[in-house]
Amino acid sequence: MFGYANPKRYQQLSRIILALALVFAVIFLGEGLYLALIASPPDYQQSETVRIMYIHVPAAWLSMFIYASMAVAALTLIIWKHTLAGFYIRAAAPIGAAFTAICLITGSLWGQPTWGTWWVWDARLTSVLILFFLYLGVMALGNAYDNPDKSQQASAWLVLIGSINLPIIKFSVEWWNTLHQPASLTSLSRMANPGIHPDMLVPLLVMAGGFLCLFVVLAILRLNNEILSRKIHVMRLRTIHG
């Protein structure tokens, strides 16, 4: 696994993954949007309003998945001092923040016609808002010090400490009475008997796949930028200090 720390191997591997992810992102997003917006049926209760789900839910899944991946990278950075992990956190954080913002905004747009309100301070919505602030904090802390390694350590610690929020988000609808409805898919009682019909589940999964591939493309591009950025930084230091 640490063999991929070797920059040359990383470059070769990332090129292949980038190409594949780009192709699949286009396929999944294209097919997913067609299914979501045109081919899938309306909901028995919400009719066409349900189509926001096909953006809102995959964005929510990605926002949590990206944060979890950043937590793994943070562990790798702190325990094994793996610099690439630090770059990954810098690369992934803005993308995660964007997905979280999409989740919050589409959720709000969905809530107004269905629930009758743009926002409530229930456990689910509040904890996702906190996740958004955590992402912003990680981005800010990553630029806080002149020494980039020190900044990276600081934001890695913030990622780790904030990761307690992930189980809170996930279980908020089960532990407390909330306005946001419980899980249709991923709670234990639901896995065998999902509350969502296959005609709607398939577009949802395709969109999630598309979002995931989109994230991989953006993350690799940003990661390459971070590596180059660090190289420039080192070159600058060398010219200054001879």
Partner 1 sequence: MTRKQQRIYSIILIVFGIGIATTLSLMAMEENITYFYTPSDIFEDENLPPQDKAFRLGGLVAEGSLSRNGAIITFIVTDNAHQLSVAYEGITPDLFREGQGIIATGNLNPEGVFVADSLLAKHDENYMPPEVAKALEEVHGSDKTAP
CB 155 within 8 A of CB 138: yes
Position 92: which residue type?
A: A
Shortest gap between Cβ of 138 and partner 1 (angstroms)?
16
d(CA 138, CA 155): 5
Shortest gap between Cβ of 241 and partner 1 (angstroms)?
28
CB 38 within 8 A of CB 237: no
CB-wise, 14 or 153, nearer to partner 1? 153
Shortest gap between Cβ of 26 and partner 1 (angstroms)?
27
Task: Name the residues that contact partner 1, by CB under 8 A.
Answer: 41-47, 50, 53, 75, 78-80, 113-117, 120-123, 160-161, 163-164, 168, 176-179, 181-184, 190, 195-197, 199-200
CB-wise, 3 or 116, nearer to partner 1? 116
Shortest gap between Cβ of 216 and partner 1 (angstroms)?
27
d(CA 213, CA 18): 9
CB-wise, 2 or 44, nearer to partner 1? 44
CB-wise, 52 or 212, nearer to partner 1? 52
CB 220 within 8 A of CB 70: no
Shortest gap between Cβ of 122 and partner 1 (angstroms)?
4
Residue 106 to residues 19, 57, 60, 116, 230, Cα–Cα distance (Å):
30, 9, 10, 14, 36
d(CA 129, CA 123): 10
Shortest gap between Cβ of 231 and partner 1 (angstroms)?
27
Q: Which burial class, exposed, middle or buried, applies to 78 when counting CB atoms under 10 A from its CB (0-12, 13-18, 19+)?
A: middle
